[in-house]
Amino acid sequence: MAKHETKTIEQVIQDASRYLNEEHTTFLRLAYDYAKEAHVGQIRKSGEEYIIHPVQVASILVDLEMDPATIASGFLHDVIEDTGITYDDLKEEFGEEVASLVEGVTKLGKIKYKSKEEQQAENHRKMFIAMAKDIRVILIKLADRLHNIRTLDHLPEHKQRRIANETLEIFAPLAHRLGISTIKWELEDISLRYLNPQQYYRIVNLMKQKRDERVYYIEKVINEIQDQLKDVNITAEISGRPKHIYSIYRKMVIQKKDFNEIYDLLAVRVIVKSIKDCYAVLGIIHTCWKPMPGRFKDYIAMPKPNLYQSLHTTVIGPKGDPLEVQIRTQEMHEIAEYGIAAHWAYKEGQDHDQENMSKQLAWFREILEWQSETNDAEEFMESLKVDFFSDMVYVFTPNGDVIELPSGSVPLDFAYRIHTEVGNKTVGAKVNGKIEPLDYRLKTGDIVEMLTSKHSYGPSEDWLKITQTSQAKNKIKQFFKKQRREENVERGKELIEKEIKSLDLSPKEALVEENIQNALSRFHLNTLEDLYAAVGYQGITAQQATNRLTEKLLEKEKPVDLENSLIEAQQEVETKTKKKSTGIGVNVKGVDNLMVRLSKCCNPVPGDEIIGFITKGRGVSVHRDDCPNIKNEDEARLIDVEWEGVTRQRKNYSVDLEISGFDRNGLLNEILQVVNETNTDIVAVTGKSDKNKMAVIHLTILIQNVDHLRRIVDRIKHISDVFTVQRTIQ
């Protein structure tokens, strides 16, 4: 590992003056002075003055021959984050370009990465690019990371590993996609040293042992090529290609190859003056040594998406082993080493304005879209599936996972992406810690937290209009479909049983297997539930269904059976009357004459799962099973209770509903009208709206049982602009 000397500000300015004029270097010095002043008194973990870090970052950017604004931003990249200086301060002092570059770097620093999943890493990389409106922000960030990882020694081991891991998964691939090989290799090698020191040093030692033998053969090959080129008057720079530790490590792990197999592969690089010379050199090499079939690649005619150009070939070398040869021009070589940075390298008089930069960033995003550096077909298909890159937003879950959504997506799209149940139970959303309406448009970098309640009655019809993703829309439609079926089944069952009773028969005797099959085959249905549903949505009438269900019974007219059922009915009446009614429609199991009341916090209604709580001196209070107020109570004080039969129930159970929606004229009126139409008494109504035009209405109504409640809620949910309906607990 090459040790990097720490550069002084004088050295950095000197290096910069090789390609920048005096006006520019003066500007750089101003940026340095300003940063030094801002960071004064701050110390790095190594004990050095903080300013050393920004100076090295600027130095890396000078090596990439970046423009003056980018280097100045390198000096200043930490001042917004770590000192009291603001965007406006920088704008006033150094102009908008520098201020927004520094601000961009600060924003990227806020992205927290922790997941190890490949898809998450990919989303993080995309988020980086989506958030950096200017490609130079990423270059500064890479320089920052490079210097940080060079100086990891002073951090505790767990931090070293975390940073190395993040570097390997996020920053090195970014450097690769930008084509900046020099930075990519260094990031990878140092990361490996921290993540797997054993393997790292093993490879380093093996390389040392083999060095002499290798140098000998490389020299032999280089001399042979030089001799041949002299004959045809081509001047070329020929060198052995350095092998990088991480790339050897990767090949050993992924291709399960032995160190020797990888390292013995000789590789040389020939750099010439013109494209014509490239092809001439190729011809000469192919006449010297036998080319291996299928190994010639012309990246000059067909550049790689990250702009890389070269001729590649593999021949059988002098040792009888494969020899890899790369042939390229000096210009191509610079792009191979510095990638996109070479493309941006500062040239006097060249257009470096904001518009140009963002155009190039857009172009860069496009190539990312089509780029595949992996042989994994599935992953490649995945990357193609992503709609257009710029049309995506990247948001965080509260855990720091990144979720990719089409732009225009709202919190509900996010919720359904997380899980169907999260979507269905949504009652609100927090974005960056603040409650936002459900139609809020998500932005890249938002942290989204869904508020759910198991008391939510599920999606409202408006959700179909608000949501952007087909995934969310499908799940909402599915919910309605399923819910309607459940309702139809219930209604159909009720109607059929009523019809059977009107024939002086009991549902129990009519609904036996034989009769059910009779009816099902008549209507071409599969299950009794299907029959109920068909009656529920009035595909067939209750009378038609009942005729089929009872025709055999009526044919037979068995008096004995009738007698039996009479006795059964009598017994049923007796057991019912044995229990003493409490007057509120609830019985305490196994205990009579207890004072019983319905709790005011959760307002249970017939049909709810309930539980009794023995109070001190005030009898038993009845709560809903899931009421949070009894969750932590002593179990010994809980007692089983049950709803009485239908006939004894009152019709005035009080229920509180919370309805949220878009605050428009007439919304409250429509809600009240719908409730009135169901002949339901309204006890209280309150409503308020916030500055986001979100209305929240609290409604207290008297209802008979859960089915009654469900019908009302369902009608409210179908009012347009209603977002959520839920039962509240006080």
Q: Which helix (H) or strand (E) holds 469?
A: none
Shortest Å distance, C-beta 74 to Mn ion? 9
The radius of gyration computed from the CA coordinates of the chain, to the nearest angstrom, equals: 38
Report the nearest approach of Mn ion to the CB of residue 335 (Å): 27
| DSSP structural state of residue 168 | I
Question: What binding mask, one character per residue, do residues 130-149 give for Mn ion by CB under 5 A, x or -?
Answer: --------------x-----
CB proximity list for 403: less than 8 A, separation 6 or greater: 123, 394, 395, 396, 397, 414, 417, 418, 448
Q: Among this protein's residues, is 82 annotated catalytic?
A: yes
Structure tokens at 565: 């059922």
Nearer to Mn ion, 144 or 413 (CB): 144
* Residues in 362-381 at the binding interface with Mn ion, rule: CB under 5 A: none
SS3 sequence of 486-508 = HHHHHHHHHHHHHHHHHCCCCHH
| Sheet bearing 434-436, strands edge to edge | 434-436, 426-431, 448-452
By C-beta, is 103 or 656 nearer to Mn ion? Answer: 103
For Mn ion (CB under 5 A), the number of binding residues is: 2
Provide the 10 A C-beta neighbour count for residue 83: 18
Q: For Mn ion, which is the closer residue by CB, 81 or 401? A: 81
Of 484, 508, 496, the C-alpha closest to 532 is: 496
Smallest distance, Å, CB 313 to Mn ion?
42
**CA neighbours closer than 13 Å in the CB half-sphere of residue 379:** 12
Residue closer to Mn ion (CB basis): 108 or 611 = 108
Strand order in the sheet with 322-329: 237-240, 266-272, 322-329, 311-316, 297-298
Q: Name the 3-class secondary structure at 167.
A: helix
Q: Please, what is the minimum distance in Å from the beta carbon of residue 53 to Mn ion? A: 6
C-beta nearest to Mn ion: residue? 144
Say which DSSP state 171 is in: I
- Dig out the tokens for 232 from the structure: 């045809």
Q: Where are the beta strands (DSSP E) in 48-130?
A: none
Choose the catalytic residue: 15, 49, 63, 81.
Answer: 81
Contact flag: residue 102 with Mn ion (CB under 5 A): no
685: Cα separation from own chain's centroid: 40
* CB closer to Mn ion, 52 vs 489: 52
Site string for Mn ion, 262-301 (x = CB under 5 A): ----------------------------------------
Q: Quick count: other Cβ atoms within 10 Å of Cβ 675? A: 20
Residues 523-582 interacting with Mn ion (rule: CB under 5 A): none
Cβ atoms of 71 and 62 closer than 8 Å = yes
Q: Which residue type, as a one-letter code, is found at position 253? A: V
SS3 59: helix
Amino acid at 212: D
| Closest distance of CB 35 from Mn ion, Å | 11
78/608 with CB nearer Mn ion: 78
Q: Which residues contact 170 (CB under 8 A, 6 or more apart)?
A: 113, 121, 124, 125, 128
For the bound state, the minimum distance from the C-beta of residue 156 to Mn ion, rounded and expressed in Å, comes to 19
Distance CA 456, CA 657 (A): 10
Distance of CA 563 to CAs 505, 556, 575, 688, Å?
12, 14, 19, 62
Binding mask 46-85 for Mn ion (x = CB under 5 A): --------------------------------x-------
Looking at beta carbons only, is 29 or 44 nearer to Mn ion? 44
Encoded amino acid at 32, one letter: Y
b/e per residue 607-624 (b: at least 16 CB within 10 A): bbebbbbbeeeebbbbbb
Backbone angles phi, psi at 256, to 5 degrees: 50, 45
Alpha-carbon distance 722 to 657, whole Å?
Answer: 13
The phi-psi region of residue 327 (left if phi > 0; otherwise alpha if psi is between -120 and 50; otherwise beta) is beta
- DSSP annotation of 655: E
181-195 and 245-254 helices, crossing angle to 10°:
70
Q: Compute the least distance from the CB of residue 212 to Mn ion, in Å.
A: 41
Q: Whose Cβ is closer to Mn ion: residue 50's or residue 480's?
A: 50
Distance (Å, whole) CA 624 – CA 641: 11
Q: Give, in order, the Cα–Cα distances in Å from 604 to each of 509, 643, 655.
A: 33, 10, 8
First to last CA, the chain: 65
* Beta carbon of residue 112, minimum distance to Mn ion (angstroms, whole number): 16
**Active-site residue flag, 514:** no
Min separation Cβ 11 and Mn ion, Å:
19
Whether 719 and 451 have beta carbons less than 8 Å apart is answered as no
Q: From the CB of 60, what's the least distance to Mn ion, in Å?
A: 11
Nearest to 431 by CA among 410, 451, 413, 447: 447
Count CA atoms within 13 Å of residue 207 on its CB side.
Answer: 17
What residues contact residue 291 under an 8 Å CB cut-off, 6+ apart?
Answer: 313, 314, 315
Q: Could you say which of 82, 331, 382, 721 is catalytic? A: 82
Counts of helices then strands in the chain (DSSP H, E): 31, 20
Residue number with CB closer to Mn ion (106 or 371):
106
User: Of 58 and 641, which has the nearer Cβ to Mn ion?
Assistant: 58
The amino acid present at 109, given as its one-letter code, is G
One-letter amino acid for residue 368 of the chain:
L
Task: Name which of 106 and 518 has its Cβ closer to Mn ion.
Answer: 106
Task: Please name the helix (run of DSSP H) or strand (run of DSSP E) that holds residue 585, with its range, or none.
Answer: none
Residue number with CB closer to Mn ion (146 or 510): 146
78 vs 499, beta carbon nearer Mn ion: 78
Minimum Å gap between C-beta 58 and Mn ion is 11
**Which residues form the catalytic set?**
81-82
Binding residues vs Mn ion (CB under 5 A): 78, 144
